């Protein structure tokens, strides 16, 4: 035995003590190694499966359960092997004498039987992991069977474990243990080998792809007798917007990607025309080069083919009307007509409409994403609202559909696409750049808190929205909505004028029906201004209601993440999904005790609520700065509100408005203009940005830009694209007339919080807060809110300095330009509930009376113009 050439019975008979000792020691060591090796193999397989779908909560729970079973099973196995003789040295009896054993040992058959039973149980649990994983896949049964076939070695492992158990049970009664030991060793070696083979199966993925699944897919495409649309969908794929964007998914199960080597995407400065896909090393890749899980799944192709095959006889992408603008309809809403989505009218659809269609099975999330991608492709070259499309968007949509099919719906936003401003971090295949080439390839360590909350709510991140570069921090004379990386955003209402910013693409995309809703950020007006100029409902929350963690910062004192939607109800549903306490943003701690337990949706109401409303009108503070056209239309809206029973009190002014409000329009350095930098918002914003951007850059990877000085130098070195110098004498670019004077002003502060800094911060915050609070309490009457012309930039500016919330809704349309303007409502801190209530009531009043001030579709004026800069 074990190379001695003699049977174990003979060795014992002749009392060959040395061989007995060697045999027992080797057997002891072999079984320790065998048991530990099996555990490591199992844990390795478990880790592999965990990596495939580490974000699916049910799958992660299953992984943890199996891991616990592995460990719980290994511990008794180990202890049984080591201590089945007491003391342990009884395993190799040096003074062995027949009939004089002084050691207590369990019968070896008992030890190995228990170990074998535990091994079988562990193997069954481990095998259950890929089985559960296959069940999760949203693919055809045929593909599931093909995947299941490559798991056959796992069944072999279980069979070998059972065989080992049988040999143990049968062999323990043999008088000559050689007849049991030799087969046992052979079985154990085979078992470990089979386990390694089973866990190595994913390594043969390229072979499976090339010779098995690829052939099957081709066979499916060539099958005769199928619907003509199946073949048409395959041939059309090469010239659809899906193919043009060259999108693909790197995973199958989840709406997120853990591998930071994922493909990164960048857009040209002029739109989608030069969208391309590249990996982190800059190499262009084809769709077939993307790594899948076990087997590559091309969600772009499969989703498209599935859509066409399931919508006979009218495939969803029979593009009618044409994607190109219908020039005979220039100046009308029908210049860029929007097709229905699988029979569902998507244009102007609310989140509730979409949710109902998804619940009824009229629509899938994959179809919804495809239709919004079609709309984006139709409008992108003109309005430039999207900086980057999420390459994993179809994978996420397919996952959301699978979750809905299983009854796992996370809430009212489940399966609905959205975009975020490009200064909001997303840990996926997209970069976060604030529109600057200096930040290209910026990889963030985690999702921004608001993005995580939206993902958790089941919403689908469609892409990044274009913005004013660095959220308007880099320059003081610039083209609103322009960024070096994203180009010029243009409002679908009028291409030639300011689209509003800095969250320009977020607002423009929602207004053009290119996305369901979007997130933006505001330091001073950057949510309210673009919402107001694109006929949207826009909510800028109290500073601290929505976390800023993961957002490229400007000032912690004023930054706030806000919402763009086509209705107040939609905006409120999104706000409910994103607000909340976040340990990474201390300002959010202040909301405790100040937010409603059931969110803000219960505050939604209708026009009948207006009979109890008492609004204030700060006329001298803001209204006097509105032009006559705007003022006249807004006053008509106020008359309508009063006719519904509301009371409007004129002259509810902001305290000390003469000092706080610039008479010359929006001016965040108005204090310095008056000769008092210690009363200027810009004084502390400059310092805050210097400090905050350095902190932010210290946490990101894959970029050499580490502080503000690096950004400034990059802009100088790349003046032709970034406009580091002022636009004069052959330097700079027209979009940044003053170059990067905002950055230079911030750089000059060195981030020092001196006495002037603290005085300015205290003055602006305390004065504006007192001013708004006083105006809301008129002669002892607590007002429902302050009604303001949102287009007058001083109104949202005062609220921004106070850190107070504002909401805007459509209020009218300029006669000369066709551009929308809004009616804003201001309130005190944490009063978002009141804003939602009154804005929803006024919106219902507008819609029910067909008021001319209500939201209407854009007319695409000047759609062939490309002027830069756009005038304010």
pLDDT tens readout for residues 144-178: 676 666 556 666 666 776 776 666 666 554 555 55
- CB-based burial of residue 148 (10 Å sphere; 0-12 exposed, 13-18 middle, 19+ buried)? middle
Mean per-residue pLDDT for 717-723?
97
Query: Is 50 exceeded by the pLDDT of residue 688?
Result: yes
pLDDT at residue 691 is higher than 90: yes
738 is catalytic: no
- Given a contact cutoff of 8 angstroms between Cβ atoms, the answer to whether 492 and 508 are in contact is yes
Confidence category of residue 67, pLDDT binned at 50, 70, 90: confident
Query: 536 or 169, which is more confident?
Result: 536
In angstroms, the CA 734 to CA 732 distance is: 7
Residue 104 DSSP SS3 = strand
Q: How far, in Å, CA of 202 to CA of 150, rounded?
A: 8
Long-range contacts of 84-93 (CB under 8 A, 24+ apart): 84/108, 84/111, 91/24, 91/25, 91/28, 92/20, 92/21, 92/24, 92/25, 92/28, 93/17, 93/20, 93/21, 93/24
pLDDT of residue 178: 52
Alpha helix positions (H), 3-56: 8-13, 17-52
Between helices 365-383 and 393-405, what is the axis angle to 10°?
150
User: Which pair of structure tokens corresponds to residue 174?
Assistant: 């043999």
Tell me the C-alpha distance between 501 and 523, whole Å: 11
- For residue 57, the tally of other CB atoms under 10 A from its CB is 9
> In 3D, which of 388, 420, 444, 449 has the Cα closest to residue 260?
444
616: nearest Cα among 660, 658, 656, 646: 646
Nearest alpha-carbon partner for 541 in 764, 798, 827, 126:
827
Q: What is the pLDDT of residues 816-853, one digit of tens each?
A: 999 999 999 999 999 999 999 999 999 999 999 989 99
Which residues make Cβ contacts (< 8 Å) with residue 733, sequence separation at least 6? Answer: 719, 720, 721, 722, 723, 727
- pLDDT the model gives residue 172: 54
Task: Give pLDDT, residue 80.
Answer: 74
Please state the rounded mean pLDDT for residues 524-538: 98
Helix segments in 628-680, DSSP class H: 628-643, 657-660, 670-673
Distance of CA 457 to the CA centre of its chain: 11
Residue 269 scores a pLDDT above 90: no
* Predicted pLDDT of residue 245: 34
Helix or strand run (H / E) with residue 649: strand 647-650
Contact 528, 536 (CB under 8 A): no
**76 Cβ partners below 8 Å, 6+ apart?**
114, 118
Q: What is the pLDDT of residue 322?
A: 66
Distance CA 866, CA 335 (A): 17
Q: What is the DSSP letter of 624?
A: G
Is residue 817 annotated as part of the catalytic site, yes or no?
Answer: no
> Pick the catalytic residue: 526, 547, 555, 784?
526
Reported as type and span, the H/E element at residue 83 is helix 57-83
- Residue 292 reports pLDDT greater than 60: no
Query: What's the token pair of residue 483?
Result: 């960024």
| Sign of the C-alpha dihedral computed for residues 78, 84, 88 and 92 taken in this order | negative
List all residues 6 or more positions away from 738 whose beta carbon is below 8 Å from its beta carbon: 475, 476, 477, 478, 726, 727
Q: Report the DSSP beta bridge partners of residue 278.
A: 264, 284
DSSP, res 341: B
Cβ atoms of 164 and 188 closer than 8 Å: yes
β partners of residue 421: 465
**How much of the chain, in percent, has pLDDT values that exceed 70?**
71
Specify the DSSP element, H or E, that contains 474.
Answer: none
How far does CA 160 lie from the centroid of its chain? 45
- In this predicted structure, the answer to whether residue 321 has a pLDDT above a threshold of 70 is no
Whole-model pTM: value is 0.69
Q: Which residue is catalytic, options 502, 518, 680, 746?
A: 502
CA 515 and chain centroid, separation = 14
Residue 434 confidence class, pLDDT cut points 50, 70, 90 = very high
Out of 276-285, 525-534, 605-614, least confident range: 276-285
pLDDT at 181 over 70: no
Q: Are 691 and 698 in contact (CB under 8 A)?
A: no
- Look up residue 212 and give its DSSP letter: I
List 538's β-bridge partners, or say none: 564, 808
Residue 471: what pLDDT?
97
Query: pLDDT digit string (tens) for 372-424?
Result: 999 999 999 999 999 999 999 999 999 999 999 999 999 999 999 999 999 99
SS3 content of the chain, % helix, strand, coil (to 5): 50, 10, 40
Task: Evaluate if residue 96 carries a pLDDT over 50.
Answer: no
3-state secondary structure labels for all residues of 567-619: CHHHHHHHHHHHCCCECCEHHHHHHCCCCCCCCCHHHCCCHHHHHHCEEEECC
Nearest alpha-carbon partner for 132 in 205, 185, 68, 63: 63
pLDDT for 731-782, tens place per residue?
A: 999 999 999 999 999 999 999 999 999 999 999 999 999 999 999 999 889 9
Neighbours of 567 (CB within 10 A): 23
Q: Is the bond into 87 cis (omega within 30 degrees of 0)?
A: yes
At residue 519, does pLDDT exceed 90? yes
Instruction: Say how many Å lie between the first and final Cα of the chain, rounded.
Output: 94
Mean pLDDT value across residues 683-698 = 97
pLDDT value at residue 33: 81
When pLDDT is averaged across residues 14-30 and rounded to a whole number, the result is 62
Angle, helix 708-717 to helix 681-697, in steps of 10 degrees: 90
Q: How crowded is the C-beta side of 263, counted as CA atoms within 13 Å?
A: 25
Angle value at C-alpha 561, between 560 and 566, nearest 5 degrees: 130
User: pLDDT band for position 301 (50/70/90)?
Assistant: low
User: CA 411 to CA 401: how far, in whole Å?
Assistant: 13
Q: Domain map of the chain by residue range?
A: 8-206, 238-598
**Tens digit of pLDDT for each residue in 576-630?**
999 999 999 999 999 999 999 999 999 999 999 999 999 999 999 999 999 999 9
For residue 262, give the nearest of 430, 463, 429 by alpha carbon: 429
Q: Work out the burial of residue 728: count CB atoms within 10 Å of its CB; fewer than 13 is exposed, 13-18 middle, 19 or more buried.
A: exposed
Residue of 504, 265, 571 lying closest to 389 (CA atoms): 265
210-235 pLDDT per residue, tens: 444 444 444 444 444 443 333 333 33
> How far is Cα 710 from Cα 747, in angstroms, rounded to an integer?
11
Instruction: Determine whether 468 is an active site residue.
Output: no
**Regarding the domain with residue range 238-598, which homologous superfamily does it belong to in the CATH classification?**
Amidase signature (AS) domain (3.90.1300.10)
Residue 138's pLDDT band (boundaries 50, 70, 90)? Answer: low
More confident residue, 702 or 546: 546
- Which alpha helices (DSSP H) does 226-348 contain, by range? 228-236, 241-244, 299-309
**Measured CA angle at 612 (ends 607, 614), to 5 deg:** 105
Tens-place pLDDT, residues 543-575: 999 999 999 999 999 999 999 999 999 999 999
CA angle 423, 391, 561 (to 5 degrees): 25
Q: Which has the minimum average pLDDT: 259-263, 533-537, 644-648?
A: 259-263
Q: State which H helix or E strand residue 204 sits in.
A: none
Residue 315 has pLDDT above 70, yes or no: no
Instruction: Compute the residue count for the chain.
Output: 872
The chain-wide mean pLDDT, for the chain, equals 82
Q: pLDDT grade, residue 646 (50/70/90)?
A: very high
* Alpha helices (H) in 326-429, listed in sequence order: 351-360, 365-383, 393-405
Percent of the chain with pLDDT over 90: 61
User: What span, in angstroms and rounded, lies between the C-alpha atoms of 832 and 596?
Assistant: 10
Can you tell me the distance from the alpha carbon of 386 to that of 421, in angstroms, rounded to the nearest whole number?
9
What's the pLDDT score for residue 307? 57
The pair of structure tokens assigned to 661 is 């409000």
State how far the Cα of 84 lies from the Cα of 90, in Å rounded to an integer. Answer: 9
Report CA-CA distances (Å) from 462 to 177, 405, 429, 696.
67, 21, 12, 24
């Amino acid at each position: 035995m074990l190379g001695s050439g003699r049977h174990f019975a003979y060795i014992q008979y002749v009392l060959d003590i040395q061989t007995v000792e060697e045999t027992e020691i080797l057997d002891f060591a072999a079984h320790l190694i065998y048991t530990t090796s099996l555990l490591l193999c199992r844990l390795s397989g478990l880790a592999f499966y965990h990596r495939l779908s580490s974000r699916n909560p049910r799958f992660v729970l299953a992984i943890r359960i199996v891991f616990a079973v592995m460990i719980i099973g290994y511990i008794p196995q180990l202890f049984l092997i080591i201590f089945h003789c007491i003391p342990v040295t009884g395993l190799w009896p040096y003074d062995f004498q027949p009939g004089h054993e002084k050691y207590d040992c369990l019968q070896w058959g008992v030890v190995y039987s228990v170990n074998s039973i535990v091994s079988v149980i562990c193997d069954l649990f481990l095998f259950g992991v890929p089985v559960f994983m296959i069940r999760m896949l949203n693919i055809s049964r045929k593909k599931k069977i093909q995947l299941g076939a490559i798991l056959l070695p796992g069944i072999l492992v279980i069979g070998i474990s059972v065989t080992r158990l049988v040999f143990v049970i049968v062999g323990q009664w043999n008088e000559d243990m050689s007849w049991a030991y030799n087969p046992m060793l052979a079985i154990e070696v085979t078992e470990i080998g089979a386990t390694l083979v089973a866990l190595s199966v994913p390594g043969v993925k390229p072979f499976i792809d090339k010779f098995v699944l690829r052939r099957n897919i081709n066979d499916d495409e060539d099958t005769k007798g199928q619907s003509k649309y199946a073949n048409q969908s395959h041939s059309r794929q090469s010239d659809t917007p899906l193919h043009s964007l060259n999108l693909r998914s790197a995973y199958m199960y989840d709406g997120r990607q853990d591998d930071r080597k994922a493909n990164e995407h960048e857009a040209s400065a002029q739109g989608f025309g030069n969208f391309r896909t590249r990996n982190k090393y800059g190499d262009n890749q084809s769709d077939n080069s993307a790594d899948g899980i076990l087997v590559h799944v091309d969600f772009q192709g499969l989703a498209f083919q599935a859509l066409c095959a399931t919508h006979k006889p009218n495939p969803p992408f029979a593009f009618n009307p044409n994607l190109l603008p219908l020039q005979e309809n220039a100046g009308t809403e029908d210049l860029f007509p929007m097709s229905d989505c699988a029979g569902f009218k998507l244009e102007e659809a609310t989140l509730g409409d979409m949710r109902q269609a998804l619940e009824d099975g009229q629509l899938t999330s994959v179809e919804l994403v495809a239709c919004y991608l079609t709309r984006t492709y139709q409008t992108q070259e003109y309005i430039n609202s999207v900086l980057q499309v999420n390459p994993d968007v179809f994978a996420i949509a397919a996952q959301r559909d699978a979750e809905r099919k299983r009854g796992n719906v996370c809430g009212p936003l489940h399966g609905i696409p959205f975009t975020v401003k490009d200064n909001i971090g997303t840990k996926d295949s997209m970069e976060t750049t604030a529109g600057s080439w200096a930040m290209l390839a910026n990889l963030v360590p985690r999702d921004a808190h608001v993005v995580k909350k939206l993902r958790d709510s089941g919403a689908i991140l469609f892409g990044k929205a274009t913005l004013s570069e660095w959220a308007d921090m880099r320059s003081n004379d610039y083209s609103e909505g322009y960024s070096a990386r994203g180009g010029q955003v243009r409002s679908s209402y009028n291409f030639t004028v300011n689209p509003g910013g800095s969250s320009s693409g977020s607002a423009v995309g929602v207004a053009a029906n290119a996305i369901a809703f979007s997130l933006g950020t505001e330091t001073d007006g950057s949510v309210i201004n673009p919402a107001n100029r694109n006929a949207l409902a826009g909510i800028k929350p109290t500073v601290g209601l929505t976390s800023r963690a993961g957002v490229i910062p400007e000032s912690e004192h004023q930054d706030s993440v806000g919402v763009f939607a086509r209705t107040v109800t939609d905006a409120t549903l999104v706000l409910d999904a994103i607000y909340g306490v976040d340990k990474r943003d201390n300002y959010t701690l202040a909301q405790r005790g100040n937010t409603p337990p059931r969110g803000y949706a219960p505050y939604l109401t209708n026009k009948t609520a207006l009979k109890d409303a008492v609004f204030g009108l700060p006329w001298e503070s803001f209204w006097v700065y509105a032009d006559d056209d705007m003022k006249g239309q807004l006053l008509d809206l106020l008359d309508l509100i009063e006719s519904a029973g509301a009371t409007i009190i004129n002259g509810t002014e902001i305290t000390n408005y003469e000092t706080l409000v610039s008479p010359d329009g929006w001016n965040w350095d108005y204090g310095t203009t008056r000769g008092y930098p210690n009363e200027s918002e810009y004084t502390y914003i400059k310092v805050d940005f210097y400090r905050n951007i350095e902190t932010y850059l210290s946490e990101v990877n894959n970029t050499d830009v580490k502080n503000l000085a690096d950004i400034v130098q990059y802009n100088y070195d790349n003046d032709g694209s970034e406009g580091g110098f002022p636009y004069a004498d052959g330097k700079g670019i027209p979009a940044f007339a003053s170059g990067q004077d905002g950055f230079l002003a911030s750089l000059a502060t060195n981030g020092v919080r001196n006495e002037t800094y603290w005085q300015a911060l205290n003055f602006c915050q305390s004065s504006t807060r007192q001013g708004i609070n006083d105006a809301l309490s008129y002669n002892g009457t607590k007002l429902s809110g302050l009604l303001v012309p949102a287009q007058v930039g001083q109104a949202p500016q005062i609220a921004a300095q106070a850190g107070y919330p504002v909401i805007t809704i459509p209020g009218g349309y300029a006669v000369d330009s066709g551009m929308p303007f809004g009616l804003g409502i201001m309130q005190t801190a944490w009063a978002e509930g009141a804003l939602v209530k009154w804005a929803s009531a006024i919106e219902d009043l507008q819609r029910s009376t067909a008021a001319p001030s209500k939201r209407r579709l854009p007319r695409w004026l000047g759609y062939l113009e490309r002027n830069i800069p756009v005038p304010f």
